[in-house]
Amino acid sequence: MSGSPSYLKGLNEQQLEAVTHGQEPLLILAGAGSGKTRVITTRIAWLINDMGFEPSSILAVTFTNKAAAEMSDRVQGMVSDAQGVMIKTFHSFGAWLLRRNASLLDMKSHFTIYDDDDVLSLLKTLFDEAPRNELRRYSRDISRAKDDCLQPDDDLSHINPDPSFNEIYRIYETRLRDIGNADFGDLISLPVKMLRESGELKKRIHQKFRVILVDEYQDSNGAQFQLLKELSGPDTWLAVVGDDDQSIYRFRGAEVKNILTFHESFPGTKVIKLEENYRSTGNILSIASSVVSNNSGRLGKTLWTRKGSGVKAKLFYSENQITEAQDCAENIMANSQYGETAVLYRTNAQSREFESTFRKMGIPYRLVGTLSFYSREEIKDTVAFLSFLSNSRDEVAFRRIINKPARGLGKVSLEKVFRYMLDAGGDLLEASKAALGGMKGKGAKGLTDFCRICDQLSEALGESATLAPYVDRVIRESGLLEYHRAQDEVDHSQKVRNLEELVTAADQYDGTMEGLSEFLELIELDQTMLEEEDNDPDRVTLITMHNTKGLEFDRVFITGMEEGLFPRGDEYADDDDIEEERRLFYVSITRARKELFFTSTRRRMLYGRTEDRYPSRFIDELPSELVDTIGEDSGPSGDFKPGTRLYHEDYGVGVVNKNLFNNGHTVLHVIFESGRTAVLMPEFCAHKLEKLGRAEWDS
C-alpha cells in the first residue's frame, strides 16, 4: 500500500474495506474504541479524492454539534477543498431543508424554532386552566409522537392512553401551523412530509446528495429513520456507522431496531465489523464481550486488541454506601493520577456520598453533566425550608419557599408580609401571621397553610434520634416531595431520588436544633469550597454512566452494582429494559483503558431507611477468572437469582425479575407468563415453588 494516499495509511484491513466500499448500502458495525470517526471521515476524503465526488454532493449527519465540528475539522485536514461537504446534525439539516422549501407547506422560510419553554407557553395559551405539570406532560408526549412521525389522527395510545390526547395534539398543531413556526420535532417530521408529498423535491435532493453518511446510527429515532429512507435514492451511496451494543438512549426515543434491521430496510447491504479495539486491554474487552453476549437483540461482534491482557478487574463488596465511597477513595489514592480516573454511577443521587468522602480525604474531583449535589434545585428548595425553620428571619430562604409549591401568593400579598416584618423584629413567620388579618381568598389560605406547616415542623424537631426522619417529614409536609415528583414524571428526572439521598445525608446528624445547624453549616461550607475550586485538570471525574459515552479513562470504577439500582427497574421491567441496562454496562466497561473496578454494597440507605441489597445480576455475567473479588457477598440465597425461571402451583411459569433481602427474608418479584406479577417469599411457599433454570433472555 506504499502508493496509497497518506490518509489511507495505518488503517487496518476492516477499516480500509469500509473506507473504500462501493455503492451498495453499507452498515459499519463499529465496536467501542475501534476508530469509527477516523473511518467515516477518511471515507469522505476517499470519495472526493479517489472517486471524484464533488464535496457539495456529500451529506454527513451526526447527533451533536460537537461531533459535527470534529468531523468537519478532520475531513478538511485530509482534503483541502472539503469545505463544501455538508456536515450537520439531523435537526440542523432538517431546518436547512425546511427553510429552503417552506413554501411547500405554506410556511415562511424565516420561521422561528420553538424550544421546550416556547412549546409550554403555547400550550398554556391554549389550555389556560390546565396545571403546568400537566402541560409539560402534553409537551413531552407531543414530542414523542413527532419522534415517531405520528400525526394527531394516528393511534397514540402507546404514548398517552388519555382519549383526549389526540385532540389536544390536534389543537396544538393547528395553532402552531397558524402561527407559522416549528418546534424541534417538526425539524425531522416536516421534511419527511415534504419529501413524501413532493416528487420533484425528492428527485432534486437525490440528485444533489449522491452520498449520505450517518454517524452514531444506533441513536436514531423513528422519524430520523423515515427521513433517511426518503433522502436515499436508488443511486445513493449510503453508509451508516454505529454500534448496536452502545444503544443506550431509548428514553430519548432512540430505536435500536433501526440498526438491527438496517439490512432489511436497505436490501443488498454490506456489513463490515470493526472489532479491533485501540483503547483497552484484553481482559477489559473480554469482560465487556462476556457481558453483552447475554443480549439477544444484537448483530454480534467480539472486540480484541494488540495491547496484551493487562491486569485483572476488581470487585469490591462493601458494607454500605459510605464504605463503598471509602473503598474507591483508598484505591484512587494508591495511584494518585486523578485526572485519568472516573467514578461511574447509575443515578445522580449516588454522587453525594462520593463528593462528601472525597472532600474529607482531600481527593480533587469534578462533576460532569450535572450540578454539585447541594446545588440542585430540589436540594436547594429543601435546604431553604430547613434554613427558614432554623431561622425565620432568613429572607432569602423565605422568598425561595413561600410559593414553592404554588400557594396563590402574589406580589401584593408578599408586600403585606414584608410591611409587618419590621414590627415582628424581622421574623417573617410572625410577620406572615400578622399579615393574615388583612388578607382573603387564595392568598390568605396559602399563607395560613404555610404558617401552620412551619409551626408543626418547628414543634417536631427533636422527636427523632437522628435528623433523617425530620428532613423526610419536612420534604413531605412542605409539599416539595409531590412538587418534584410531578416534575420527575414529566421530565424523567431524578429529583425524588436526590431528595431521598438528602435524607440519607441527614442521618449522620442528631435530630436536634444543634444537629440541624451542623447539617446546614456543612452544606454552606460545601458550596464555599466549590466556589474556591480552580480549573486543575488533575481531578477524579464523577459521572453518570450515560454521560460517559465517547469518553475514556485509564481507571474506571463502576459503582452501585445492585439489583434495583443497576440494573434499574421494578417488577414491571421487561426484557428490552434489561437489555438496554446491559448495553449501558457494556458502554461503562469499555470506557476503561487499563484498570477496571466494580462495587456492590450489602446495604444501602435510601430515603433515610437502610435496605439490604442483592448483588446485580450483571455480576454473575462477569468471567470469574478475570475478576478478583475483595470481600464477601452476604446477600440472599442464590437459589432464585434474577432471570431464574420457576413454576408456582397457583400462578404457573414465571421469571424472577428482582431478588431482594429484607429483614432476613428473601423476597422475589416474579413476572408470570400470564402477565401477572407477584411478590413471593420462598421460605413461606417453598412447597409451591419449583426452580426451572435460567430464562432464555438471561441465559
**How far apart (Å, rounded) are the C-alpha atoms in residues 3 and 8?**
10
pLDDT at 286 over 50: yes
**Letter for the amino acid at 333?**
M
Query: Is 697 within a domain?
Result: no
Task: Please identify which residue in the block is written with the cell numbers 417536631.
Answer: 460
Looking at residue 637, its pLDDT comes to: 45
Query: Is 107 within a domain?
Result: no
Asked if residue 387 and residue 507 are part of one domain, the reply reads yes
| Per-residue CA distances from 193 to 24, 104, 190, 522, 687 (Å) | 26, 10, 5, 56, 60
| DSSP one-letter code for 149 | T
pLDDT tens-place string over residues 165-178: 999 999 999 999 98
- pLDDT confidence bin for 40, thresholds 50/70/90: very high
Asked if residue 518 and residue 418 are part of one domain, the reply reads yes
Asked if residue 310 and residue 390 are part of one domain, the reply reads no
Asked if residue 122 and residue 94 are part of one domain, the reply reads no
CA 657 to chain centroid: 22
Q: What is the CATH number of the domain that holds 62?
A: 3.40.50.300
Q: Cell numbers at residue 189, please?
A: 417530521
Asked if residue 611 and residue 492 are part of one domain, the reply reads no
Identify each DSSP E strand in 525-634 by its residue range: 540-544, 553-558, 592-601, 603-606, 609-612, 627-630
**How far apart (Å, rounded) are the C-alpha atoms in residues 208 and 201?**
10
Query: Is 347 within a domain?
Result: yes
Helices and strands in the chain, H and E counts: 26, 22
Residue length of the chain = 699
Catalytic annotation, residues: 36-37, 215-216, 246, 591
Query: Is 639 within a domain?
Result: no
Query: Is 282 within a domain?
Result: no
Query: Is 698 within a domain?
Result: no
Looking at residue 698, its pLDDT comes to: 43
Number of domains in the chain: 5
pTM score > 0.75 for this model? Answer: yes
Asked if residue 326 and residue 270 are part of one domain, the reply reads no
Q: Which of 120, 147, 179 is the last residue of a domain?
A: 179
Looking at residue 697, its pLDDT comes to: 43
Q: In which region does residue 599 sit, left (phi positive, over 0), alpha (psi from -120 to 50) or beta (all else)?
A: beta
Q: Does residue 351 contact residue 505 with C-beta atoms inside 8 Å? A: no
Query: What angle, rounded to 10 degrees, do the helices at 65-78 and 36-49 form?
Result: 50
**Beta pairing, strands 58-62 & 211-214:** parallel
Sign of CA dihedral 459, 473, 350, 144: negative
Query: Is 465 within a domain?
Result: yes
As a whole number of Å, the CA-based R_g of the chain is 28
Looking at residue 606, its pLDDT comes to: 67
Asked if residue 487 and residue 377 are part of one domain, the reply reads yes
Asked if residue 520 and residue 418 are part of one domain, the reply reads yes
pLDDT tens-place string over residues 83-108: 899 999 999 999 999 999 999 999 88
Name the least confident of 93-97, 427-431, 657-661: 657-661
Burial label, 376 (beta-carbon count in 10 A; 0-12, 13-18, 19+): buried
Looking at residue 461, its pLDDT comes to: 93
Q: Which of 125, 144, 179 is the last residue of a domain?
A: 179
Q: Cell numbers at residue 642, please?
A: 434474577
Contacts of 587 (CB under 8 A, 6+ apart): 32, 245, 246, 248, 545, 548, 549
Q: Domain range for residue 680?
A: 644-691
Asked if residue 241 and residue 204 are part of one domain, the reply reads yes
Q: What are the binding residues for ATP? A: 30-37
Asked if residue 498 and residue 358 are part of one domain, the reply reads no
Asked if residue 377 and residue 361 are part of one domain, the reply reads no
Q: Does residue 228 contact residue 191 with C-beta atoms inside 8 Å? A: no
- What is the 3-state secondary structure of 442-462? HHHHHHHHHHHHHHHHHHHCC
Sheet bearing 627-630, strands edge to edge = 365-367, 540-544, 341-345, 553-558, 592-601, 313-318, 627-630
Q: Which of 179, 208, 227 is the last residue of a domain?
A: 179
- pLDDT confidence bin for 564, thresholds 50/70/90: confident
Q: Kindly compute the dihedral angle of the four CA atoms of residues 233, 238, 241, 245, in this order, to the nearest 10 degrees.
A: 50
pLDDT tens-place string over residues 380-412: 999 999 999 998 988 888 999 999 998 888 888
Query: Is 90 within a domain?
Result: yes
Compute the average pLDDT of residues 645-666.
78
Q: What is the CATH number of the domain that holds 434?
A: 1.10.486.10
**How far apart (Å, rounded) are the C-alpha atoms in residues 479 and 401?**
10
**What three-state secondary structure class fits 36?**
helix
Q: What is the CATH number of the domain that holds 657?
A: 2.40.10
Q: What is the CATH number of the domain that holds 158?
A: 1.10.10
Asked if residue 207 and residue 64 are part of one domain, the reply reads yes
